[in-house]
Every structure is written in C-alpha cells, then in structure tokens.
Structure 1
Amino acid sequence: MDKVLPERTGTLGLTIGSASCLDGVIQGKRLFRVEPGNCCDHAIEQASVLMDCSRRASFIGVMDDEPVLVWASHFLCEMAKALMDDAHMGMRKHR
C-alpha cells in the first residue's frame, strides 16, 4: 500500500472508519461511525475539544444539578473515544 499522504494531510495518517459510538436500539447496532480518510492529526485535535466540552458539561451538570448536561458529557466522551480509537488504528496502519 502506498503510504504517501496528500500534501494537506497531517503526518500521523488517516482514519480508517471502523470506530463507532452510541448504542442503537437494535442490539449490536451503533448510531455513529468515524468516516474513513480523515486526517488523524485533526481527529485527535477534535477529540481533545470534545473531551474539554465533556469535562465542562459534566462539572456544570453536577454542580447545578442538571442531569441533561451529565448525559451530554457521556455522549461527548463516547464520540471522543471513537475519534481517538479510529485515529490510533489509522496511525498504526500508516507505519
């Protein structure tokens, strides 16, 4: 496989599109999946942003007794994990 990436792509590789998040109603089905072919550098940056948003929502949700913010934090964490997992798989493939 050719390991040369497009010029505008970061140095870590590309997402492979196998990580997913958030359980669906049907057992074994997931609601969201990371799209293949995205820059791993950017995916990691976005995961960091999601984690920061999650941290803030969690803190405010607990302090202000807002369960909806705690749930939002849970969903954001799942999305961040999927991005990180997929970026990691893409970086291993890029080696």
Structure 2
Amino acid sequence: MRYDTKATPKIVPKTWGIGSFGEGVEEKASHRLFRVEPGHDGDYVIEQALLMMHCAYKLTGEASIEPSESKVSAAHWITGMAKALLEDIAHGLLMSPSTSSGEVPASRT
C-alpha cells in the first residue's frame, strides 16, 4: 500500500514550553536553567535541533581525536538543548489531534 501524502494533512505542532534542560540547584528537574518557549513552529524547531546535533557530533568527533574538556562540555550542553526542543515537539505530536495542530494551551502561554 502506497502512502498518499496529499490525502493526509501534515500536522506541524508548535512548541508547548515544557521542554527544559540544564541542571539547576540540587540538580532537580523542577529547577531547570532553561525552558523552550511555547508557540514556535515545529518544522523550524526540528531543523534547529538537527543543526545542534550536527554541531555536537562534530565536537565529540574532534574531542575523541584530541581530548578537550571544553569541546565535550559544549557538546553536552548542545545535546541538552536539542533534546529539550525535540521533547517539546514530541509532546505536541502525542497530544490529541485537536491540540497538536499548533494550538498551545492557554495555561502554557
């Protein structure tokens, strides 16, 4: 069976503002240093996450050849940012069809 892209509308969620990263005081998940802002277009967010992962890939590759604590630390933070973006978009995709179309709940704006 062939998948017909014209018959199936593309669902592009927006960010919800739940993705976060960066350990805060006492390394509690509720005290993260950074959080994704709600309302950003999903396609753009995924593109940015892919760019971040590419940068982290390059940094870790260089650090494996010539050890560098700063490159490893940078890769750690970059992957944390990318993970937060993708978690946020995944949340939007897992929500009901009525909310995954990009409508950010009023309580999150």
* Shared fold (TM-score, shorter chain, > 0.5): yes
Count, aligned residues:
86
Unaligned runs of 5+ in 1: 1-9
1:13-52 map, 5 Å: 13-28=13-28, 29-52=31-54
Equivalent residue for 1:69, pick from 68, 71, 74: 71
- Amino acid across the alignment from 2:60: S
User: Deviation of residue 45 (structure 1)?
Assistant: 0.6
Structure holding more strand per residue: 1
- Could you tell me whether the CA contact under 8 Å between 1:15 and 1:37 is conserved in 2? yes
**Structure 1: 4+ residue segments shifted above 3 A:** none
- Amino acid across the alignment from 2:86: M
Q: Distance in 2 between matches of 1:40 and 1:87?
A: 6
1:80 correspondence with 2:82 = yes
- Could you tell me whether the CA contact under 8 Å between 1:40 and 1:91 is conserved in 2? no
Q: CA RMSD in A?
A: 1.6
Q: Distance in 1 between matches of 2:44 and 2:23?
A: 25
Q: Distance in 1 between matches of 2:89 and 2:64?
A: 31
- Superposition TM-score, scaled by structure 1 size: 0.82
Indicate the structure (1 or 2) with the bigger Cα radius of gyration.
2
Q: Distance in 2 between matches of 1:26 and 1:85?
A: 23
User: Deviation of residue 91 (structure 1)?
Assistant: 2.5
Unaligned runs of 5+ in 2: 1-9, 102-109
Q: Using a 3 Å threshold, how does the CA distance of structure 1 residues 60 and 27 change in structure 2: closer, same or farther? A: closer
